[in-house]
Amino acid sequence: MTDVPHVPVGRRILANRLFLAVCVFCTGLAVCVLAVLIVSIVMDGVHRLSPDFIANFASRKPQEAGIRAPLVGSIWVCAICALTALPIGVGTAIYLEEFAKRGKFTEFIRINISNLSGVPSVVYGIIGLTAFSRFFGWRAGAAPIALGNPDSMLYLQLPFGSGVLAGGLTLALVVLPIVIVASQEAIRAVPNSLRQGSLALGSTRWQMVSQITLPASLPMIMTGAILAMSRAIGEAAPILVLGAPLLVLETPTNLMSDFTVLPMQVFNWMKRSKASFQEIAAAAIIVQLAVLMSFNAFAILVRQRLQTPLQ
């Protein structure tokens, strides 16, 4: 041990009290910031909220503008993102936790995933633009190949262009590391005795995973999935890079439709200098926050309802 200087008890107690005061101050500051944030946005935008605001399309006149296109666009993109990122993310987590042998290769995948989670979302936007919208420059300049009927929801064009499919897949890249890490933690939390019991009864690995591990870890996986989706629905940078049009006057009808999303619409309106656009941006933020709060509340509900202690 190094020599510890002797500090009188009185002074140490004083230090303790001072530090507690600093702690309370800092925590209070954080809470105040949250309060100011929410109050200021509500004050700015609440008088613009109306059924018309939800039902109308965007407009050059702020008093007539609404968020119908971005709201529906957000739902489409979020659904595509969920349908791709969740199976792939949970599958990766299952492989890493239940099938992979511990070794250099598994360690490499693990480090790789932690690096991917640090990549800025704007970089994913550039990758999404290059890989999904343009297929790495394949058929650049030529007309895209059409597959299927344009009236059908599953109409495809190759390359994808900047439709909802490309948007959803790009957001899937952004949230994939989050889904993987959350699912890994969920699977790791399942007690080993359950696995051993299943294997002892003669099940294969996959039978064990599908009938024991997955059902037991489902609440935690779903909580992580919902939080990942709330991240996806708030991302604007990747969608901006993909090139969402400034003014969208239609809701998407198929996977190739042009779209915009709520945070992107907020950004567009904020970029206008007129104060009335700032007000409708605030109103759109209120809707966005309401959607996010309901996501979070749902996550908490799932966690509490489905979680049974496994001891």
Residues 57-86 touching another protein, rule: CB under 8 A, are none
Using CB under 8 A, pick the residue from 133, 170, 230, 254 that binds another protein: 230
Task: State the maximum Cα–Cα separation within the chain, in Å, rounded to a whole number.
Answer: 83
The count of C-alpha atoms lying within 13 angstroms of the C-alpha of 123, restricted to the half-sphere facing its C-beta, is 6
| Identity of the residue, 75 or 126, whose beta carbon is nearer to another protein in the bound complex | 126
CB of 256 to another protein, least distance (A): 20
Using CB under 8 A, pick the residue from 91, 138, 139, 146 that binds another protein: 91
CB of 260 to another protein, least distance (A): 13
Judged by CB under 8 A, the stretch of 51-59, 89-97, 149-157, 251-259 that binds another protein is 89-97
| Helix and strand counts by DSSP (H, E) for the chain | 12, 2
Residues 6+ apart with CB under 8 A from 98: 187, 205, 208, 209, 213
Contact status: 173 vs another protein (CB under 8 A): yes
**Rounded to an integer, what distance in angstroms lies between the CA atom of residue 225 and that of residue 240?**
24
Contact status: 51 vs another protein (CB under 8 A): no
CB of 246 to another protein, least distance (A): 9
DSSP tag of 49: -
Count other C-beta atoms under 10 Å from residue 295's C-beta: 17
CB of 148 to another protein, least distance (A): 25
DSSP three-state, residue 271: helix
Using CB under 8 A, pick the residue from 49, 75, 122, 156 that binds another protein: 122
CB contact at 8 A, 224 and 183: yes
Using CB under 8 A, pick the residue from 62, 73, 163, 177 that binds another protein: 177
Size of the site for another protein (CB under 8 A): 101
User: Residues 24-48, buried b or exposed e (16+ Cβ, 10 A)?
Assistant: eeeeeeeeeeeeeeeeebbebbeeb
CB of 18 to another protein, least distance (A): 8
**Rounded to an integer, what distance in angstroms lies between the CA atom of residue 304 and that of residue 228?**
18
Site for another protein in 239-298 (CB under 8 A): 240-241, 243, 263-264, 266-267, 270-271, 278, 281-282, 285, 288-289, 292-293, 295-296
Judged by CB under 8 A, the stretch of 7-15, 65-73, 152-160, 251-259 that binds another protein is 7-15
Helix (H) or strand (E) holding 156: strand 156-158
Count other C-beta atoms under 10 Å from residue 278's C-beta: 16
The label of the residue with tokens 């099938």 reads 99
CB of 226 to another protein, least distance (A): 10
| Identity of the residue, 128 or 254, whose beta carbon is nearer to another protein in the bound complex | 128
**Rounded to an integer, what distance in angstroms lies between the CA atom of residue 127 and that of residue 174?**
10
Using CB under 8 A, pick the residue from 237, 248, 255, 302 that binds another protein: 237
Site for another protein in 192-221 (CB under 8 A): 194, 197-198, 201-207, 211-212, 215-216
CB of 79 to another protein, least distance (A): 18
CB contact at 8 A, 69 and 57: yes
